[in-house]
Structure formats: structure tokens, C-alpha cells
DNA sequence: CTACCCTTGTC
DNA sequence: ACAAGGGTA
């Protein structure tokens, strides 16, 4: 064993043992495997909540590796420098990793690949983050898709590679390189006291992901089509946070959904199509990366967005005190749990971009900092879909009415009561948790009065937004 | 080129 | 009914 040079497995968003082609390839080679996670500028640049969640994922995954006789080596610095240094100290001849598709990761990874190859190292990237490589899905004319439905019609006919199973053992080297301590990274620091609250609601690690998927397939998928829309129910799959950290792979989910489909589950097709939405978001981000930070349709640059974050309307939206209960409930769910029901995301986003006429990027940045399931492509696409500036976006005149939405999707008011304590004699823990999670400087308490009217009225805001739409139409 | 189609809505 | 231009086969 000691004669065989080890393989460095550079982990990023693939904190799992199964459905992990890079890990499987490394283990099957017979060489010792050294799993490495590098704290680089991309990790440092993450928002508070996703950074905390990744740290928790690393903690759990480190233990998972130890149970397999392996370890997770932690290092800080420029990835090429770190990997080149480890190549020197370990004698590794190969470095494997799972591909990512955002512009910063692509730039970083191609630089690393080039730098390692220049040193004679076999640097290899693998699939595993997505169902398909973004360049493998094309229209008949050979270009990328810009509309979801034809993308979906194409994707659902494709074969998805079967997920690999977890390796029985991960060959260990005779000597391990030095590792930094995860605690020293203090990845939850920016969360302040919010981390302790979100922790109560969070599920972490590959085993938790598998349990969640199994429970969903057992209880949730049959009624998924309607159930996913009901705000007070656990009708969604809950897979997003595990996909973001890579604690589950998309192929695992796809094949589970396909099995349910073949067994006649009525919600399976809708479920699979949601996974394809994630795929579509990365397809768009890969082919038109400007979707991540600019209006995808340039004519939307003319729209008179408000982007001064100090404005009272923006503060009210962020602090969940707009006076529109369903909007504030969604924003509080995010503060407390680090996630928000998909429908609430649309409703809160619509209120910000339409009624308050605030730039979608303000909301995108807020979500980037507060969602533990933050996904760069899905978040950007979602905001531009609601705002109207994206590909295949909702027409701008389609404005969500939070009252109508509440009648349809929270008819008993259970979701609003779960998250808004004010005015309740005996508010639930969930609603009280909000006051524990928020920054102290917001100085809010459950006994404060809730705003007696919306900061911008529903019909007033709707009309103002539709009037402003003329700036884009002409 | 044409014909058909376009996640999640509202009034 | 509104309002809508553009994507895809």
C-alpha cells in the first residue's frame, strides 16, 4: 500500500459517500485516498447562513469519513498552493474533484487544473453535481434552452446515470498530512446568535438526507402536486439544503423519483420536474452567467428599481414588519429556520419587487445571506423570474396578491400564526424563536404592536408597479 | 416559415 | 379578459 502514491480528493459541494463519482473513482483505483477541504476566498465570501450550514456539514462529513477509516483534512489558502503543497508532502500523483458550474468556481478550477498539470499531476474533474453537464442539453439548433418547458421535455426523456453506492472502505494512507481544526474556522461567526436557533430546525449530513428522502417518498410524494403549495404543511421534499451541500446527489433523487413514477405515484412527475428546475437554473447560469448578477433582459435596466437599502420599505421587508402578514411570515420563517417555503419565496419576492419596487438584487443578496439552502443559480433565476427580468420569466403584470395567496394556500392562517407572535395570547415557540434569531439591534419583542397597515397597500403598490412597467415596455 | 406554446396570477 | 413577445420544433 505504502508504495502506491495517494490520490488527493478535493471536496467542495459533494459531502457524501454515495452518488459521488470522484470519490468512487479514487477508491476503485486502489490507491490511498486523502480527502481535503480547502477554506478559500469562495468559502469566505459565502453569506452567513450558508457558511454556517456548510461548516456543520463538514463537521458531520468528517465523522462519516472517520467511520470509514478515513479523515477530512482541512486547509486554508489558495487552492492551487494548498494542493501543490499537499502533493509535495504526500507524494500524490493525482487530484480528483467534482465539477461546479458558477463562473468563479470554473475560473478557480481551471486554474488549479492547469497549475497541477504543469507540475505533472493528473488533475481530473468528475460529474456529480448535476444530472447532466450543462453543455450536453441542447435545442435542435444546437444552442442552450431559454424556456423551461422544452428543456424539461428533452430532459425527462434522457437516461440519467445510476448513482454509485458508498465505497465499502476508503483506503487510508500510512501517514496523514496535518489538518487545521474546523472550530478554528468559526464558520458560524457571522450568524451570531441566529445559529443556535437555526440549529434547532436543521437536519445535517448524508444520513439525514437519506432519511428525509425516504420519508418524503413514503408520505409526501403522492400528494406532492397540491401539497407542495400548502404553506402550513410539510408537503415539499426538503431536498434543497442537502443538494446545496452535496449531502445528497441529484442522481439519487432522480432515480428515486423515477421509481415512484413507475409505481404510479401521482406526484412523481411534478417532483422530478422540480429537480429539473434546479438543473435548468444551472443550465442558464452556465450559458449566460450574467443571470447571476444582472438583468437577464437588458431592457429591464431602464426599470426604475429602488436600490437604496437604507429605505424604510427595504428595512421593513428585511425585518419582517411590512404589515402584510403572509410576507412577514415568510421572512420570519427564513430567519428562524434558514429556509422558506417555496411559495412564500415567490410571495415575499413579488411584494419586494412589485409593491415596493425594490431591485430584485436587494432581495437576492438578502436570501444569499439567510438561506442555508442557498443555491446561486436557483436564487438568481427565482428572483429574476418573479421580477420579470429573466428568461422565461413571469410576465411583469402578474403580481402576487398576498391576501389572495393566503386564502388559497393558508386558508386557516396556520402558517401566519406559526411565524408571527404579535397579537397572539399564547404564541407558538416557532413564532417566539424569531425574536431570539434576529440581530439585537433590531430591538423587537413579541409584545410589540404589529404594524396596523401595510407599508405599501396591496392595490396601491400593484398599480404603481404596473404604471412603472411602461419604462420597460416602450 | 408557421404554428403552437409559455410553473406557480388577478380581478 | 388581461396583455405579450419570444422560444422551439
Residues A148-207 have pLDDT tens digits of 999 999 999 999 999 999 999 999 999 999 999 999 999 999 999 999 999 999 999 999
Taking the CA atoms of residue A36, residue A39, residue A41 and residue A42 in that order, the dihedral angle to the nearest 10 degrees is: 70
Quote the pTM value.
Answer: 0.97
CB A227 within 8 A of CB A220: yes
What's the rounded Cα separation, in Å, for the pair A94 and A7?
5
If DSSP codes are grouped into helix, strand and coil, which group holds residue A33? strand
Sheet holding A7-11, edge to edge: A73-76, A33-39, A7-11, A94-98, A122-126
The confidence band for A341, taking pLDDT boundaries of 50, 70 and 90, is very high
A148 assigned binding-site residue: no
The per-residue pLDDT for A455 is: 96
Pick the CATH number of A298-473 from 3.40.640.10, 1.10.579.10, 2.70.150.10, 2.40.30.170: 1.10.579.10
Q: Which residues lie below 8 Å from residue A24, measured CB to CB, with a gap of 6+?
A: A164, A167
Q: Measured in angstroms, what separates residue A474's CA from nucleotide B3's C1'?
A: 27
- A140: nearest nucleotide, CA–C1' criterion: C9
- A395: nearest nucleotide, CA–C1' criterion: C4
A351 assigned binding-site residue: no
Pairing outcome for strands A33-39 and A122-126: unpaired
Nearest to A385 by CA among A326, A300, A450, A451: A300
CB of A280 within 7 Å of some strand C atom: no
A224 assigned binding-site residue: yes
Q: What percent of chain A has pLDDT over 90?
A: 95
For residue A192, how far is the Cα from the chain centroid? 21
The per-residue pLDDT for A255 is: 98
What's the rounded Cα separation, in Å, for the pair A240 and A59?
19
Q: Which residues pair with A437 in a beta bridge?
A: none
Q: Measured in angstroms, what separates residue A187's CA from nucleotide C5's C1'?
A: 46
The per-residue pLDDT for A428 is: 98
Instruction: State which nucleotides on strand B lie below 7 Å from a protein beta carbon.
Output: 5-11
Residue A420 pLDDT exceeds 90: yes
| Vertex A471 angle, CA A469 and A474, to 5° | 105
- A281: nearest nucleotide, CA–C1' criterion: B7
If DSSP codes are grouped into helix, strand and coil, which group holds residue A366? helix
For chain A, the domains span: 1-127, 130-161+193-287, 298-473
Residue A2 pLDDT exceeds 70: no
The architecture of the domain spanning A130-161+193-287 is: Alpha Horseshoe (1.25)
Nearest to A228 by CA among A344, A379, A348, A381: A344
CATH class, domain A1-127, is alpha beta
State chain A's mean pLDDT as an integer. 96
pLDDT digits (tens, 9 = 90+) for A22-79: 999 999 999 999 999 999 999 999 999 999 999 999 999 999 999 999 999 999 999 9
Question: From the CB of residue A314, how many other CB atoms can be counted at a distance below 10 Å?
Answer: 20
Amino acid at each position: 500500500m505504502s508504495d502506491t502514491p495517494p490520490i488527493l480528493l478535493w471536496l467542495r459541494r459533494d459531502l457524501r459517500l454515495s452518488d459521488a463519482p470522484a470519490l468512487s473513482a479514487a477508491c476503485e483505483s486502489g490507491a490511498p485516498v486523502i480527502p481535503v477541504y480547502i477554506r478559500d476566498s469562495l468559502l469566505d465570501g459565502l453569506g452567513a447562513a450558508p457558511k454556517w450550514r456548510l461548516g456543520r456539514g463538514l463537521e458531520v462529513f468528517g465523522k462519516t469519513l472517520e467511520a470509514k477509516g478515513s479523515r477530512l483534512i482541512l486547509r486554508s489558502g489558495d487552492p492551487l498552493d494548498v494542493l501543490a503543497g499537499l502533493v509535495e508532502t504526500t507524494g500524490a500523483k493525482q487530484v480528483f474533484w467534482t465539477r461546479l458550474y458558477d463562473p468563479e468556481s470554473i475560473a478557480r478550477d481551471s486554474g488549479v487544473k492547469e497549475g497541477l498539470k504543469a507540475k505533472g499531476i493528473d488533475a481530473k474533474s468528475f460529474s456529480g453535481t448535476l444530472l447532466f453537464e450543462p453543455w450536453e442539453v441542447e435545442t435542435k439548433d444546437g444552442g442552450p434552452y431559454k424556456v423551461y418547458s422544452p428543456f424539461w421535455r428533452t430532459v425527462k426523456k434522457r437516461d440519467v446515470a445510476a448513482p454509485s453506492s458508498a465505497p465499502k472502505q476508503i483506503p487510508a494512507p500510512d501517514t496523514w498530512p496535518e489538518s487545521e481544526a474546523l472550530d478554528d474556522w468559526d464558520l458560524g461567526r457571522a450568524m451570531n446568535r441566529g445559529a443556535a436557533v437555526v440549529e434547532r430546525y436543521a437536519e445535517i449530513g448524508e444520513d439525514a438526507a437519506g432519511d428525509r428522502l425516504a420519508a418524503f417518498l413514503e408520505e409526501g410524494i403522492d400528494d406532492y402536486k397540491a401539497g407542495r403549495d400548502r404553506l402550513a404543511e410539510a408537503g415539499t421534499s426538503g431536498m434543497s439544503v442537502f443538494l446545496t451541500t452535496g449531502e445528497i446527489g441529484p442522481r439519487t433523487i432522480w432515480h428515486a423519483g423515477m421509481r415512484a413514477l413507475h409505481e404510479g405515484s401521482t406526484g412523481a412527475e411534478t417532483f422530478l420536474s422540480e429537480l429539473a428546475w434546479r438543473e435548468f437554473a444551472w443550465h442558464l447560469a452556465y450559458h449566460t452567467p450574467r443571470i447571476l448578477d444582472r438583468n437577464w433582459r437588458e431592457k429591464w435596466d431602464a426599470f426604475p428599481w429602488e436600490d437604496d437599502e437604507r429605505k424604510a420599505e427595504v428595512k421593513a421587508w428585511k425585518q419582517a414588519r411590512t404589515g402584510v402578514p403572509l410576507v412577514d411570515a415568510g421572512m420570519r420563517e427564513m430567519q428562524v429556520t434558514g429556509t422558506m417555503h417555496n411559495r412564500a419565496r415567490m410571495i415575499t419576492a413579488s411584494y419586494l419587487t412589485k409593491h415596493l419596487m425594490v431591485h430584485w438584487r436587494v432581495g437576492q443578496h438578502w436570501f444569499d445571506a439567510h438561506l442555508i439552502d442557498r443555491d446561486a443559480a436557483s436564487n438568481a433565476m427565482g428572483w429574476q423570474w418573479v421580477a420579470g427580468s429573466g428568461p422565461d420569466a413571469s410576465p411583469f403584470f402578474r403580481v402576487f396578491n398576498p391576501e389572495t395567496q393566503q386564502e388559497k394556500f393558508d386558508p386557516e392562517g396556520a402558517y401566519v400564526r406559526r411565524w408571527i407572535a404579535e397579537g397572539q395570547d399564547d404564541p407558538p415557540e416557532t413564532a417566539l424563536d424569531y425574536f431570539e434569531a434576529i440581530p439585537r439591534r433590531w430591538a423587537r419583542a413579541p409584545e410589540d404592536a404589529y404594524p396596523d397597515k401595510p407599508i405599501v397597500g396591496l392595490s396601491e403598490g400593484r398599480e404603481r408597479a404596473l404604471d412603472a412597467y411602461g419604462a420597460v415596455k416602450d
